[in-house]
Amino acid sequence: MGFWIFSKRARKNRKARPYSKLPQWGQALVEFALMLPVLLMILFVLIETAFVIQGYLAVQHAARDAARWAITGRPVQSEQLDGSPCTNPGAGDTVEQFVRQNPGTNCDPNESDAEYAARRVALIKETAVQRAAGLRIDPAVLALTEAEFAAYQDEPRFFGVRVFGDTWTQERVVDHPGLPGRLVHVEVVHNVEIIDPFLRVIAQYVQVRGSANMVNEGVQVWEPTPTAYTATPFTITPPPSPELFTRTPTPSPTPLPTSTPPPGGYVVIIPFNYVTNTLPFERGHPVDVTVTDQVGNPLPDVIVSFSTDFGAYDYSGVEEPDTQYVEGTTDANGVVRRTIYANEPATAQIRAWVDMDGDDVWDLGEATDTAIKEWILPPGQPYILASDYEVMPLDWITADIYDHFPAQNPHTLLWCRTSITGGITSSVLDTNLYVDSDGDLMDLPIEIPENSAGYYRLETHSGAASCEPPGSACNAIACSDDILVIPSPPDLLIQSINGPTEVQPGTLFTMSVVVKNNSFGYTDETFDIDFYLDPGGEPAPGNIGVIKQWIAGIDPMESVTVNTLMWLGDIGTHEIWARVDTSNYVEETDEDNNTAMATVTARCPLVEDDGQVVIPATMYDSNTDGSCGGGAIHWEASSYGGTDTMLALPDDGRGCYNYGSTSSAPVLRYTVEFNQPGTYYVWALGRPCAESSRGCYQGTSSNDSFWVTLDGLPNTDNNYRITGWGSGGLTWVSQIHGTSGQPYLVVPSAGAHEVQVRVREDGFEWSKIVLTTTAGLDQEPSGSGPAFTCMGSDPAPWEPSAPGLVECTQLIKKGDFEGNPEGVFEYWRAGETGAFQRTGYMAHGGAFSMRLHDSLGNYPACEALTPWVYQTVRIPTEVYSITTLSVSGYRTVGGSLLDCSVAQSVDFDERLYVQVVDGSSNPYMRLYPTSGNDPEDPSTPPLTPTPTATPSPSPTPSPSPTPTPTDTPTPTPSPSPTPSCYRDDFDDGDHSSWQEYGFATNNGTVSESGSSMFIAGGGTTIWYRDDLYFVYRPFSGDMRVELEITGFSGTGGSSRKGGLMIREGISAAEGRDRRIGVLYYAGSGNLSFIYRDTTGGNGNRTIASNVSVGLPVWVAVEKQGDDYQVEYSTDGGTNWIDVGSVTIPMGDDLLVG
């Protein structure tokens, strides 16, 4: 049957749809409902994917734009972005202080290089943020510092920027904008937040990264540039009116040329195409590379890369990645030299190029030149080749012996020193060597003899033989080229640390440390050893101990014993540590074995005094985990009675007790020093366990006795058992158990005897025992009885104050600094009563202490804990060889780095105090104002104001260090009196006005020719001793000495050096007079500015070293009183580069040469 439905509005002749088709409507609706979530999911995935793609493109764009902005070098140092001068002296000096603080305009008019680099990094990071517009960035997780990056990098909508720069010595230095010609790296990271709730279950965000590396264009040099000086040439006029000369510094330094390519690009020239050297003595060949522009003009200060596929740019000749690729910088003539060495015959492909992208690999398009270098063998003569020519004692090398006569077998192999001075002179390596029928012996293993130092060669002889004196020509069958032996560095360790196991607190005792050099190397450097008391673990390098001692050098495998007084201030077990070479004066083979530790226990001694002994009890009141029958027992460490404290068994109602005659019963042992024998009556202060409030059982009768015996167990159970206490508090009792007699001990002789104390009943407690030679119950002690004295009367052997500094890098902490004690140094005090102070926690690049105080209205807009800039830095007398100290003052408020008071305003708090202590612990103090209008301390000489608001004083010891400012423009020398000018052009062939002296066994020669002086000499060292040849003449008073170094020749290889020197004399042992010098190292092409400031001291102190320059070079030393300034010039003396200065008390009559 059918069923029809009609619409009420339908016409009668219109047919309704049949019912059989209606289920199709529901089916379509269900299918649509099922597909809709899938379609929505696909749609949301597409949307999220679009957001991720947008984020990825945006961070890539931001990184590239930020890197492009970085390589422009903007802004100019000490200028705002618009070119106007900077105006804020307190702008800051770290990246954290510049980000979000308008670094484009917020800058210091006297901006340092560090401040400038930090400001540029902040600008680079803010540029990246600006270029990322459109990203969904949460400002709360925007990371522009390393700390923020680490904290927020896992948060949705995180956005972070990191900047790394390459310097000439390091790559990817964090928060550095890079140097001209080097790479700058910008990294941008963003967490794209997932908005779909279903997808957020899988991940809340997708992280995208963008990075860009670009080479800085060198628009401006933002490395520290040396002060340049313009010097008028020396001129000579006839006597009696000699021409005078002066030197005037130029107003600003001359920037060094950058690595920006010249118009048309670089031209690189190797002066040979093919060249040969004959082994074994022509191992090295200099490769002089010239760099010019396209028209042939030489280009100075261009970094040139060298590579080879055979041999090495190292005297050893050993082929390693770091010896087959080296770099060098062209001199004023556009030339840079590197020497290539080989140890066997072969051919090398040499390449030199300007590495524009800094990848250490030549790329197509980089200016380059190549050459062929071949090493050949000597025809028809015997020779020796070694596998390594720069070694250390006990190293192993191999040697190849060629073209010897088999008829001369067996051969002897000798180790012969060729340098005038050094280690052992010779050694017989083998006396039974047989060459084969071809006259060869290959891969002969050789151990470098112990205690070798200097230059040596291998010699072969037929039969028995010995070495010629050092420096002699080769008279053997064959000789190798010179092998350089570098002495092994020492290895300092603490072989043992010894002292008493037990001491009395408050008394001095001796600790002995044996320091051993566990190496065949040695050092003449004076180094330190520090002793620490309970440092909380192994003390770190550089941390000063409570006591510092010194060792003046150490020989190979030598042991040195160092004794010191120590002191313990309280009872208990203490750790005493020792660290050798705390301040790292000595370069060692192993720097991680310099400590040792010993434990010393401080105990209070028990001594009979005028017939009385007082024995204190140890901790007993909280002992609750004992039990009857020898179960668990509560023990505590004791400083009085052995290693265990008094036993207190709990009173559990069972009447538990021990037997005094049992050797296994718990016992406390006290060693007492009796001055007189006799009978000693025993009084004891104790109490039974009888109060329910203490968990005791009232009415228990077996809880009120213990034994006191002498030198062993009691011979009967009760003779030494003391009893008679009533319930309640501690009372005195002297009664034998079961009788009314007094307990006593019979001391048979004077000396040490042991008093034992054993608890019998559960819960019994005692506090003090008194032994007295006076009998009678009327001798009962009153109150708590006689006092027990523990501490000795010796003071600590160190000053209880701030430990001072180690080379100005240790954070000062002082125990009595907290709060507001009057004993604190007055300039550390907070001031008003109730103010608060504590040791500062921010280290601004060095050691410091800061005091905090309640502002009390001084800074109404600041937090309560605001620092005064009053600070004190104390240098202890035992800190060795500190000649310069730099101290800076900073204002910080409530943990921030923002100034609270107005910069340059007159404010009582803006002051810096520096204090040093002389040899008698007398303080010398100096005030340095940090505000422009604040007067200086009138009690000290006036101080030249520094160009910045925060000075960096440097004390000069005379006799106690007197602070003087650093970072101050060098003043023009006073025109009166001006030194007379002496000039020698070395062009007359007469050097009779110069004197000659060869130190030790070293002799040399001197001659003049063609406007040059030629000095020939040799030696092994100019560090510990002066083993050199010296040509000199005496001069007096203040002076300026200039010398041109033009070249080196002769033997000696990479160790050849020479230059200018001013000496106090030539009379000290081993030439160890005070002196200052400028040395040029022919092998490395570097200048070193060295000095020795104490007679007999080390000569390896440097003002600067490894200053890379080419020849010719002018060097200069200027003397004003005891101050010596060193300089050099690469343009013939027109502009001088200031290296630094040092104070050496050498007087006025000196030797110059």
When pLDDT is averaged across residues 1044-1070 and rounded to a whole number, the result is 79
Residue of 651 and 706 predicted with greater confidence: 706
Token output for 681 = 């009556």
Token output for 515 = 């320091």
The Cα–Cα gap between 247 and 1038 comes to 14
Predicted pLDDT of residue 168: 67
When pLDDT is averaged across residues 561-572 and rounded to a whole number, the result is 89
What own/partner pairs with CB < 8 Å and gap ≥ 24 does 633-639 have? 633/666, 637/572, 637/573, 638/668, 639/571, 639/572, 639/601, 639/602, 639/603, 639/604
What are the Cα distances from residue 848, in Å, to 918, 975, 1114? 20, 40, 41
Tally of CB atoms within 10 A around 1083: 18
Residue 85 DSSP label: B
Tally of CB atoms within 10 A around 633: 14
Please give the single-letter amino acid code of residue 1030.
F
When pLDDT is averaged across residues 222-240 and rounded to a whole number, the result is 31
The arrangement of secondary structure in 267-376, i.e. its CATH architecture, is Sandwich (2.60)
- Residues 6 or more apart from 841 whose CB is under 8 A from it? none
Tally of CB atoms within 10 A around 667: 22
Token output for 196 = 């779909």
When pLDDT is averaged across residues 617-626 and rounded to a whole number, the result is 42
User: How much of the chain is in helix, strand and coil states, percent to nearest 5?
Assistant: 10, 35, 55
Instruction: Dump pLDDT digits (tens) for 165-204.
Output: 887 667 888 999 888 767 889 999 999 998 888 778 888 8
Predicted pLDDT of residue 818: 47
What are the Cα distances from residue 913, in Å, to 421, 540, 872, 901, 908? 51, 29, 6, 18, 13
Closest CA to 497 of 509, 515, 479, 481: 515
pLDDT value at 267 more than 90? yes
What are the Cα distances from residue 124, in Å, to 130, 160, 662, 721? 10, 12, 84, 87
Do residues 163 and 67 touch, judged by C-beta distance below 8 A?
A: no
Residue of 77 and 945 predicted with greater confidence: 77
Residue of 742 and 947 predicted with greater confidence: 742
User: CATH top-level class for 606-779?
Assistant: mainly beta
* Phi-psi domain of 986 (left: phi exceeds 0; alpha: psi -120 through 50; beta: other): left
Do residues 7 and 15 touch, judged by C-beta distance below 8 A?
A: no
Please give the single-letter amino acid code of residue 533.
L
Instruction: Dump pLDDT digits (tens) for 323-344.
Output: 999 999 999 999 999 999 999 9
Place of tokens 């030790």: 1000
Do residues 67 and 213 touch, judged by C-beta distance below 8 A?
A: yes
User: Could you tell me which residues are beta bridge partners of residue 745?
Assistant: 680
Predicted pLDDT of residue 752: 92
When pLDDT is averaged across residues 740-762 and rounded to a whole number, the result is 86
What are the Cα distances from residue 197, in Å, to 44, 138, 840? 10, 19, 48
The Cα–Cα gap between 426 and 468 comes to 9
Handedness of CA 659, 661, 662, 668 (dihedral sign): positive
Phi, psi for residue 141 in degrees, rounded to 5: -120, 30
Token output for 368 = 């380059």
Q: What is the mean pLDDT of the chain?
A: 74
Instruction: Dump pLDDT digits (tens) for 972-1009.
Output: 333 333 334 667 777 777 777 788 877 755 567 888 87
Do residues 714 and 660 touch, judged by C-beta distance below 8 A?
A: yes
Token output for 436 = 């084969």
pTM: 0.39
When pLDDT is averaged across residues 453-477 and rounded to a whole number, the result is 92
Least confident segment among 529-543, 935-949, 1018-1032: 935-949
Decide whether 606-779 matches 995-1152 in CATH topology: yes
Among 1.10.10, 3.30.1380, 2.60.40, 2.170.270, name the CATH number for the domain at 383-485.
Answer: 2.60.40
Residue of 364 and 617 predicted with greater confidence: 364
CATH topology of domain 995-1152: Jelly Rolls (2.60.120)
- Residues 6 or more apart from 238 whose CB is under 8 A from it? none
Highest-confidence segment of 593-602, 662-671, 704-713: 593-602
Residue 10 DSSP label: S
Do residues 216 and 70 touch, judged by C-beta distance below 8 A?
A: yes
The Cα–Cα gap between 535 and 546 comes to 10
Alpha-helix runs per DSSP H in 157-223: 197-200
| H, E, C per residue of 732-774 | EECCECCCCCCCEEEECCCEEEEEEEEECECCCEEEEEEEECC
The Cα–Cα gap between 636 and 619 comes to 7
At what angle are helices 113-131 and 22-70 packed, to 10 degrees?
A: 160
The Cα–Cα gap between 268 and 370 comes to 9
The Cα–Cα gap between 266 and 367 comes to 6
Residue of 989 and 116 predicted with greater confidence: 116
Q: Count CA atoms within 13 Å of residue 1142 on its CB side.
A: 24
The Cα–Cα gap between 607 and 674 comes to 6
Q: Cα 426 to chain center, whole Å?
A: 40
Q: Cα 775 to chain center, whole Å?
A: 68
pLDDT value at 786 more than 60? yes
The Cα–Cα gap between 43 and 405 comes to 91
Place of tokens 């209606």: 22
The Cα–Cα gap between 947 and 420 comes to 52
Do residues 806 and 656 touch, judged by C-beta distance below 8 A?
A: no
The Cα–Cα gap between 777 and 743 comes to 11
Do residues 890 and 902 touch, judged by C-beta distance below 8 A?
A: no
Instruction: Dump pLDDT digits (tens) for 719-728.
Output: 788 888 877 7
pLDDT value at 948 more than 50? no
- Percent of the chain at pLDDT > 90 equals 32
Closest CA to 74 of 110, 127, 112, 130: 127
Token output for 573 = 């077990």
Closest CA to 969 of 1138, 1131, 796: 1138
Least confident segment among 400-414, 901-915, 1081-1095: 901-915
pLDDT value at 156 more than 80? yes
Least confident segment among 80-94, 146-160, 675-689, 785-799: 785-799
Highest-confidence segment of 2-6, 220-224, 410-414, 1083-1087: 410-414
Please give the single-letter amino acid code of residue 909.
D
Beta strands 368-376 and 274-278, pairing class: parallel
Predicted pLDDT of residue 768: 86
Q: Report the run of H or E that residue 69 belongs to, with start and end.
A: helix 22-70
Instruction: Dump pLDDT digits (tens) for 954-969.
Output: 333 333 333 333 333 3
* pLDDT band, residue 375 (cuts 50/70/90): very high
Place of tokens 């062929």: 372
pLDDT value at 854 more than 60? no
The Cα–Cα gap between 95 and 112 comes to 13
Q: Cα 440 to chain center, whole Å?
A: 51
Domain map of the chain by residue range?
A: 28-215, 267-376, 383-485, 492-601, 606-779, 800-969, 995-1152
Please give the single-letter amino acid code of residue 563.
N
Token output for 187 = 């990294």
Predicted pLDDT of residue 663: 62
Predicted pLDDT of residue 18: 45
When pLDDT is averaged across residues 557-576 and rounded to a whole number, the result is 90
User: CATH top-level class for 492-601?
Assistant: mainly beta
Do residues 753 and 771 touch, judged by C-beta distance below 8 A?
A: no
The Cα–Cα gap between 648 and 190 comes to 67
